[in-house]
Amino acid sequence: MLVKNSVIRTKVTKPGMPVCEVFAECGRARVQALPFVDGKGRLAGRVTLKNIMKLACLPDYMVASAPLLGSFLSCVDDAQAKIGQILDSAVDRYVRELQVSIGPDEPAIKALAIMEQNDTSYLFVVEEGEYQGIITIQGIAEQMSRMYTSPQPLD
């Protein structure tokens, strides 16, 4: 089974793109991260849902006190307005470094090994510097399930 058999095609994020578009695309594709391309269209980083939520919603003191937090916690007076501010903001402040990627013709087991080695559940699929999509542990598991229920030759 090759990486290209489990690739999920997604849009890329760009400078100035609003967070609401990232949320929408991640939801549509059922992924947790999107690549970020610079003004010249080159892969320059990644935008993850986890990082957006952490930076926009979770102050350090709240993370440190997580086991002590109660069930009726509200630290935002006007949650609707705060959500609007987050979703209207540009992705630029949430861009993280680009992590390791993988080519589409590599074995899926190699992708799993690289994910484990890098403590992640996804990799960007890149061929000759061009973003092709994302491969996730969930996507590989779904492909394995499909192969089990309707066996086909592996390529």
User: Which CATH number belongs to the domain containing residue 39 in this structure?
Assistant: 3.10.580.10
The proportion of the chain whose per-residue pLDDT surpasses 70, expressed as a percent, equals 88
* CA 94 to each of CA 15, 22, 51, 131: distance values in angstroms, whole numbers, following the listed order: 11, 11, 7, 19
Structure-block tokens of residue 45: 């980083």
Query: Which tens digits make up the pLDDT trace of 90-110?
Result: 999 999 999 899 999 999 999
Domain that holds residue 58: 3-149
Whether 14 maps to a domain, the answer reads yes
Mean pLDDT of the chain: 89
Domain count within the chain: 1
Whether 11 maps to a domain, the answer reads yes
Whether 154 maps to a domain, the answer reads no
Q: Please give the residue that has the higher pLDDT: either 66 or 88.
A: 88
Q: Is the pLDDT of residue 154 over 90?
A: no
Whether 155 maps to a domain, the answer reads no
The string of DSSP codes covering 24-77 is HHHHHHT-SEEEEE-TTS-EEEEEEHHHHHHHHH--HHHHHTGGG--SS----T
Whether 118 maps to a domain, the answer reads yes
